[in-house]
Copies of this chain bind each other. A is one copy, B any other.
Amino acid sequence: MDIKEGLSLKKHIILIFVVLISLFICISLGSVPIPFKDTVGILCDLLLGKKPSGMYADILIHVRLPRVLSVMPVGAALSLAGAAMQGIIRNPLADGSTLGTSSGAALGAVIALSLGVWLPSFPFAGTVVFAIIFSFISLIIVMSLAYTVDKLLSNNTIILMGVIFSMFTSSFISLIMAFSGERLRSITFWTMGSLAGSNYNNVLLLLITLIIAGSALMLSARELNAFSLGEDEAMHIGVDVKKTKVIILVSVSFLIGVSVSVGGSIGFVGLIVPHACRLLFGGNHFKLLPSCVYVGAIFLLFMDLIARTLVSPVELPIGVVTSFIGAISFVIIYYRRRKHAGT
């Protein structure tokens, strides 16, 4: 019997390798073709601390690189959050947005857009800051609502309160859109999800969140495993059920809030990547959570690549590409696995 329950070192190495390869592919391809030689040259210059110049360097350094670097943690965060939510409330329909923070963040962003909030020292930061603040407020509202109606914080209560809250905020969003007049278009575009215009500040924010909240979740893998036996059983083996729930729900909200604030509402990833990982790597959260990070990152990188390049120069909304390709590939995985299982 192994001492470690997680992914084998070999799998870790392979997956990291695939992430790096994907990253490189996504940097070198784009709607403007940059010769491979130039790409490598510019990247080397960057690594060596030189300042490359020219149109290719402009595109690569200011447009493509920050975008690709934001896409990666967003994909990881959404998938990880989805896996944790599905684990803790034991419901295959759950994902990060079940808690209501996703639509809370969207509401914040939409309010910022419609008021034209502007924070002078942060370029473009209005939406991001508002989204994060609102995702927080949402979490607090949902949790205290759930706690008020049900001191035990049972799953059914959390689910229902989360869903109700997200419907509530979505209706706020619709209302704002209905009265937004001239700004309707930008709001609509924003809600479709877009990672265009990400900058290095966003990348930093995403990475910090992913590291902190991601670690909190990874460290809760045993607890998540315990929950799959039922909450009472988890308590019997020593899990502090309420505390664990709060830690996990707060981490999930962080991940979701920040991702939404940067990338808009990108659906589907958080629901489907965990299911796919469960089919591929099993339901043990020691394996599931890390694999979600890798697979989520890889998946969204390629989806973004397709969004950027498929009908170049036009860009497709990333949510659209994600659902499209994600749906098809998930059905294939599901089909193969069921056939394989022989049932």
Contacts and interface: CB of A to CB of B under 8 A. Distances in A.
Nearest to A187: B188
A294 to B, nearest CB: 22
Contact of A316 (B148, B167, B175, B275): B175
Interface stretch (A9-17, A252-260, A318-326): A318-326
Interface in A52-91: 91
A340 B12 CA distance: 52
A241 interface: no
B192 A178 contact: yes
A171 B98 contact: no
Given A91-B91, A188-B184, A272-B164, A175 B320 contact: yes
Interface stretch (A40-48, A201-209, A330-338): A330-338
Interface string A296-330: 00000000000000000000110111111011001
B92 A167 contact: no
A171 B331 contact: no
Interface stretch (A119-127, A153-161, A226-234, A284-292): A153-161
Contacts of A175: 316-317, 320
Interface residues of A, number: 53
Interface in A172-194: 172, 174-175, 177-178, 184-185, 188-189, 192
Nearest to A323: B171
A164 B327 contact: yes
Nearest to A337: B149
A335 B149 contact: yes
Contact of A331 (B94, B145, B188, B189): B145
Given A148-B335, A160-B334, A323 B275 contact: no
A93 interface: yes
A172 B330 CA distance: 17
A267 interface: yes
Nearest to A169: B323
A94 B98 CA distance: 12
B159 A174 contact: no
A134 interface: no
Given A148-B335, A163-B271, A317-B174, A168 B327 contact: yes
Nearest to A328: B168
B323 A170 contact: yes
A303 B316 CA distance: 36
Contacts of A177: 188, 192
Interface of A: 91-94, 98, 145, 148-150, 152, 156-157, 159-161, 163-165, 167-168, 170-172, 174-175, 177-178, 184-185, 188-189, 192, 267-268, 271-272, 275, 316-317, 319-324, 326-327, 330-331, 334-335, 338, 343
23 contacts: A92-B159, A92-B160, A93-B93, A93-B98, A152-B343, A160-B330, A164-B326, A164-B327, A164-B330, A167-B271, A167-B272, A167-B323, A167-B327, A168-B324, A170-B267, A171-B320, A171-B324, A175-B316, A178-B192, A178-B316, A178-B317, A184-B184, A188-B188
Given A167-B272, A174-B319, 6 more contacts: A91-B92, A161-B331, A170-B323, A171-B324, A174-B192, A184-B185
